[in-house]
Structure 1
Amino acid sequence: MVDHRITRPVLGSLILAGAWLSAPAMAADYVIDTEGAHASINFRISHLGYSWLTGRFNDFSGQFSYDADNPEAASISVDIDPASVDSNHAERDEHLRSDDFLAVESHPEAGFVSTDYISHGDGTATLEGEFTLRGVTRPISIDVEKIGEGEDPWGGYRAGFTGETSFQLADYGIDYNLGPASETVHLQLEVEGIRQ
């Protein structure tokens, strides 16, 4: 995984999606299918260098656009609710919401907004953008791979992508001492969009 890679405020205009797809030959707009739970924002961070602590953000929304004939024009935005952090441990999640980490009371939004889509011509791409977390906005890059696209059983059309990125806690003002092995957060993004 590459450090500093992701698109704009994870919790806010969240992520992922937008520009990662290679859709049909004509430009199309997609809404990320969070209602059907066909998308997820997952994270992992080392626990003392001994194991991985994993979790996710349960509440987010977003949309993306893609034109296979003009991929450079692809775009995406994702909004994330940082208070929806879920590491499957209620006491830890409360701590993650506190000022030591996400500071959700003073910074209730996070997200990502793309600035560039760089296709590698083999179904993979680099999605550049700005990621906002804890009131800090920084550039980030996401390694993207297209999973597939096509008609669904309900008369709609879908496109799906997966993405990976990572960032340093300190870059977003989080200086809680978890030890040197736990300074980097890794994100795994799964995005399925419904064409509008």
Structure 2
Amino acid sequence: MKKQILAVAITASSLFTAVAPNVAQAADYNIDVAGAHASVQFKIKHLGYSWLLGRFNTFDGDFSYDAKSPNASQINLIIDTASLDSNHAERDKHLKSDDFLDVKKFPKAKFRSQSIKFSDDTNGMVTGLFTLKGITKTITFPITKVGEGADPWGGHRVGFTGEASLKLTDYGITTDLGPASVYVDMTFNIEGVRL
């Protein structure tokens, strides 16, 4: 009986070893916020005459990615809404108020991917759940792989960029900014360090 069990174990082990090299194992990455090699930015039209630019200075997250199986990738991102910075203190105070982000009540915005589909080695579409002001919506937006490879410190990095357009009223932001400012564009520049 013991010989039979041992034989089965050896056979299973051999099968796993034979199959394993063909199975892509996604690597895990931490977003490089410590080195400031990632950013979450936004822009919105001001009266239709120019662009108001800003960013969120504090965020964190991680993702998984393997070039051999990119469609198995996943990403999680958490943004500290109180870290909003448009380079104007009074405006920032207003944007953080309950007229807009209400950061005291909703201190975090979140994105969690549900699917990532690449059309080639570089370009893909991400679908996931974005939460802002306690409201969660499914969004889909394009991403581009910027590059991948070794860094000077013995690590391995990969970076992506993507831009999503969000309708303000979808997230309970009803302050009227005029017809040119119905949407805000979010840009995610994500560089990760492989764990």
TM-score normalized by structure 2?
0.86
The answer on 1:142 being equivalent to 2:126 is no
Separation in structure 2 between the aligned mates of residue 72 and residue 193 of structure 1, nearest angstrom: 17
Could you say which residue in structure 2 is the equivalent of 1:167? 166
- Return 5+ residue gaps in structure 2 as ranges: 1-23
Unaligned stretches of 5+ residues in structure 1: 1-24
Residues 1:98 and 2:91 aligned together:
no
Q: Deviations over 1:50-106 (max 9, x none)?
A: 110000000000000012333232101000000000000000000010000001111
SS of equivalent to 1:125: strand
The amino acid across from 1:193 in the alignment is G
Which one-letter code corresponds to 1:44 in the other structure? K
Percent of matched pairs sharing the same residue: 56
Q: Could you list the structure 1 runs, at least 4 aligned residues long, displaced by more than 2 angstroms after superposition.
A: 67-72
Q: Is 1:51 matched with 2:50? A: yes
Count of aligned residue pairs for this structure pair: 172
| Distance in 2 (alpha carbons) for counterparts of 1:85 and 1:127 | 24
Root-mean-square deviation (Å): 1.0
| Equivalent residues of 1:168, 1:183 under 8 A apart | yes
Q: Give the letter for the 2:153 counterpart.
A: W
Cα deviation code 1:114-137 (max 9, x no counterpart): 000011114100011000001100
Corresponding residue of 2:191: 192
* C-alpha displacement of 1:39: 0.3
Which residue of 2 is the match for residue 123 of structure 1? 122
Distance (whole Å) between structure 2 residues aligned to residue 75 and residue 27 of structure 1: 9
Q: Secondary structure at the match of 1:171?
A: helix
> What's the TM-score, normalizing by structure 1?
0.85
Q: 1:114 is aligned with what amino acid? A: S
Offset of 1:26 from its aligned partner? Answer: 4.1
Equivalent residue, structure 1, for 2:108: 109
- Following the alignment from structure 2 to structure 1, what is the Cα–Cα distance between the partners of residues 152 and 56? 28
The structure whose RCO (Cα within 8 Å, separation 6+) is larger is 1
* 2:153 paired residue number: 154
Contact 1:57 1:81 in 2 (8 A): yes
Determine helix, strand or coil for the equivalent of 2:90: helix
Which residue number corresponds to residue 84 of structure 2? 85
Query: In the alignment, which residue of structure 1 is the partner of 2:17?
Result: none
Q: Match of 1:125, as an amino acid?
A: G
Report the AA paired with residue 27 of structure 1.
A
